[in-house]
Structure 1
Amino acid sequence: MANKPLSVFVTTYNNGRTLPACLESVKWADEIIVLDSFSTDDTLVVARRYGALISQQMFIGYGPQKQSALTATTHDWVLLLDADEALSPDLQKELRQVLADGPVADGYEMPRQEQMFWRMYHPGTRMNYYLRLFDKRKGLIDDMPIHAAPKIQGSVTRLSSPLYHYGETNIHTKVEKINAYSSGLVADKVRKHRWGIRLIMIVYPPLFFIRSYLFKRNFLNGWAGLINSVIAAFYVFLKYAKLYEHYQFAKYGKGLLPDDAPPLPGEYQPGTGEET
């Protein structure tokens, strides 16, 4: 059946800077759902400007939060967007054509073109594809602690036009994100009983750099591509370094510190990424 109505769902927290571009790119949708985690900036003002249906709840994790927003949608066909993403004009046309003609698959992946610090990805860079448009009757959002994404039971195909991402507009933001993400993934990796951590720390980061810089063609992005690939390799290292640290804390506690060492404020709590 053609002319499928579309619900767009977005989770937000203090995204007033990027949300206008996000919602402007989907203002033609039949419904926009915004689930906010009690923003203190103008996020809600922006959402109301675009006629979004707004609700608020405390942040309960990336996957559960997105699933809550998905549950609030009323149409079968839904589009997941992050608040720092926007559909390119060509992708808007492509999506609207799919919905007008009637989808031939249960889900659609789209390439994401990243802003990499001071520039956008070179078009020749190999972009990652993300499942964002799907029939919600066929799936839900997974429970990954960080990179939560839709999982569907059905056929998936790809669109050709890019989704723009404005999540890493400078090096400081990029490094902050990988620090937070790597801490957030420790508990998940502990649960999965990862082994060979020391070998992974030695071998995987340089291989990941080669994959990013050469095989994904980040060299086309000049110095921004080199910097990005180095940070990406460090992110891989950091995930497993923090996992190793978790096991060392669990094994030794304070046993490797001098007996007469006084307790220090701000002691790191293994596996939480937080300080007391």
Structure 2
Amino acid sequence: MERARLSVVMIAKNEAELIADCLRSADWADEIIVLDSGSTDDTVAIAERHGAKVFTHTQWEGFGKQRQQAQRYASGDYIFMIDADERITPPLRQAIESVLENPQPHRVYSCARRNLFLTRFMRHSGWYPDRVIRLYANAGYHYNDNLVHESLDYRDATVCRLDGDLLHLTCRDFFVFQRKQLGYAEEWSRQRFQAGKRCGLFSATAHGLGAFLKTWVLRAGFLDGKPGLLLAFVNAQYTFNKYAALWALARQQKAKHHDDESHLSGHL
């Protein structure tokens, strides 16, 4: 059986600091596709220097649809979806190569991520093995439409585990990480609000507390030491922000509706 061709696919914006190492870890692929969403730094130039095929799509409709658009440019039989802050380790490359040598129908493949939090690759706290589905047949599968926390729509395919880890430089800078978390919380809350979901402020607080206990106790975050404790607080904060934002959107809508009614009654 002929070896399947691999397209490593990435969406990116202003990733000049990270993208070079990511591309070097994937330079053995048959092609690398980078879909840029409007970088103002050297992201595009760096990607081109490393042999990537670079395209631009600035009409942002969320992470899911952006990944769908990026995949449309790929010509490989298989897709490996990656982010600029991730690196393919040699054992993971070997596992991917094995799949390409013997492709199987109706299968998608997950890999374990080793997530960096400040100075440590976490081993607990729900951050490892953190399996994510990244390798799949180009013709059969694509990402869903989620604005954030998008995932592969693999339907009834069998999920197989790849050996080797994907390194993820999740949090190298605490403030940058917090700003990203706040952005994710905003997109999550807007998506849920548009779907008709609502939340009380007490529920938001309970969700935040639950996230702390899940990270620190159930997921053994205490074994990750001080970084584990900090991460438990960060997860609690992020979870609270998501649900509090959902609560706030409903309050804003109610207030606007009340103002509109008052304005209308004033003209009667």
Normalization by structure 2: what TM-score? 0.88
Which residue of the partner structure matches residue 223 of structure 2? 220
Task: Report the aligned-residue RMSD.
Answer: 2.1
Identity among equivalent pairs (%): 27
- 2:198–2:250 contact (8 Å) kept in structure 1: no
> What is the CA distance between 1:102 and its match in structure 2?
2.9
Q: CA deviation at 1:195?
A: 4.2
Gaps of 5+ in 1: 257-276
- CA drift of 1:88 comes to 1.6
Q: Is the 8 A contact 2:185 2:238 kept in 1?
A: yes
Q: 2:210 aligns with which of 207, 220, 230?
A: 207
In 1, the alpha carbon distance for the partners of 2:2 and 2:106 equals 13
CA contact (8 A) 1:7 1:77 kept: yes
* In structure 2, distance between residues paired with 1:2 and 1:223: 50
| 2:36 paired with 1:36 | yes
Residues in 2 aligned to 1:121 and 1:134: alpha-carbon distance in whole angstroms = 27
Q: How far apart, CA to CA, are the structure 2 residues paired with 1:90 and 1:243?
A: 42
Whether the aligned pair in 2 keeps the contact of 1:86 and 1:165 (CA below 8 Å) is: yes
SS of residue in 1 equivalent to 2:35 = strand
Report if aligned partners of 1:197, 1:244 keep a CA contact under 8 Å in 2. Answer: yes
Question: 1:59: how far off?
Answer: 4.3
* 2:56 aligned residue: 56
CA distance in 2, matches of 1:52, 1:43: 11
Q: Equivalents in 1 of 2:232, 2:197: separation in Å? A: 24
Counterpart in the other structure of 1:259? none
Q: 1:136 aligns with which of 135, 138, 145?
A: 138
Distance apart, 1:128 and its partner CA: 1.4
The answer to whether the Cα contact below 8 Å between 1:110 and 1:131 also exists between their aligned partners in 2 is yes
Displacement of 1:11 in angstroms is 0.9
Which residue type is aligned with residue 94 of structure 2?
K
Secondary structure of the structure 2 residue equivalent to 1:166 = strand
- For 1:253 and 1:123, the matched residues in 2 are separated by 45
Q: How does 1:54-133 map onto structure 2 within 5 Å? A: 54-60=54-60, 61-103=62-104, 106-122=107-123, 126-133=128-135
User: How many residues were matched structurally?
Assistant: 256
Q: Partner amino acid for 1:34?
A: V
Residue 181 of structure 1 pairs with residue 187 of structure 2? no
Report what 1:145 is aligned to: 147
Preserved contact between residue 36 and residue 55 of structure 1 (Cα < 8 Å): yes
> Which of 171, 187, 197 is 1:168 aligned to?
171
User: What stretches of structure 2 of length at least 5 have no aligned partner?
Assistant: 260-268
- Contact preservation (8 Å) 1:18, 1:166: no
Label 1:100 to 1:78 Cα distance change in 2 as closer, same or farther (>3 A).
same
Measured at CA, do residues 42 and 17 of structure 1 come closer, stay the same or move farther in structure 2, by a change above 3 Å?
Answer: same
2:164 pairs with 1:157: no
Q: 1:126 to 1:210 in 2, by over 3 A?
A: farther
